[in-house]
Amino acid sequence: MSQTFTMDDLRRMLQERQHKMTPQRQVVLQIILDHPGEHLSAEDVHGILRDNKSEIGLATVYRSLELLSELGILQKMEFGDGCSRYEVNKTDPSKHHHHHLICTNCGKVIEFQDDFLEPLEEDIKKKLGFTVSDHQVKFFGLCKECQEAQQ
């Protein structure tokens, strides 16, 4: 089950991890909060900042996103194109993350929540004695719109 976080929640999470909510981190986090489900890259965040006449540089955006990811506040994702993307890590740590469908034509990313791997994880634990703490699933293919455009 996913949760919704406010800026105060995120500030508290940073403080619990012995970090301050700097003005730059707050602006970067607010952009991520304002674009739910968009899986923004550092360049995307920087572009939004530039459009809003912000003076925050790309290097600061990268550092902020990396730190927030390392602290577990953001989830860093790779979709096979060499570009890291970020979203608020709103997943209950006792549950698995959502999964992604990635269109290899237009780059659209679609999230889905169903977790069909639970039986496989139980089988792995039973047969191999290995407890799976998390997994990521990414399916690559063509979205509905790209399929229709090709017909």
Q: What is the pLDDT of residue 2?
A: 44
- CA dist list (Å): 14 to 10, 18, 29, 56, 120: 6, 6, 11, 20, 35
Structural domain boundaries, residue 100: 96-151
Total domains in the fold of the chain: 2
Mark the binding-site residues for Fe cation, compressed into ranges: 97, 118, 135
The model's pLDDT over 89-100, given as tens digits with 9 standing for 90+, comes to 765 555 556 677
Task: Determine the Cα–Cα distance for residues 1 and 69; give it in Å rounded to an integer.
Answer: 20
Tell me 2's DSSP state. B
**Shared-domain flag, residues 50 and 123:** no
**Shared-domain flag, residues 62 and 120:** no
**Shared-domain flag, residues 52 and 103:** no
The model's pLDDT over 102-151, given as tens digits with 9 standing for 90+, comes to 788 887 777 776 667 778 888 999 999 998 876 777 788 888 999 999 88
Q: What is the pLDDT of residue 75?
A: 81
**Shared-domain flag, residues 10 and 72:** yes
Domain boundary among the residues 53, 68, 92 is at: 92
Mark the binding-site residues, compressed into ranges: 97, 103, 106, 118, 135, 143, 146
Mark the binding-site residues for Zn(2+), compressed into ranges: 103, 106, 143, 146
Question: To 10 degrees, the CA torsion angle through 17, 19, 24, 27?
Answer: 30
Dig out the tokens for 103 from the structure.
């269109």
Taken as a whole, the chain contains a residue count of 151
**H/E stretch holding 99:** strand 99-103
Task: Determine the Cα–Cα distance for residues 77 and 87; give it in Å rounded to an integer.
Answer: 8
**Shared-domain flag, residues 16 and 68:** yes
**Shared-domain flag, residues 87 and 116:** no
> For the domain that residue 102 is a member of, what is the CATH number?
3.30.1490.190
Going by their DSSP bridges, the two strands 40-41 and 74-78 should be labelled as: unpaired
Q: What are phi and psi of 94, to 5 degrees?
A: -85, -5
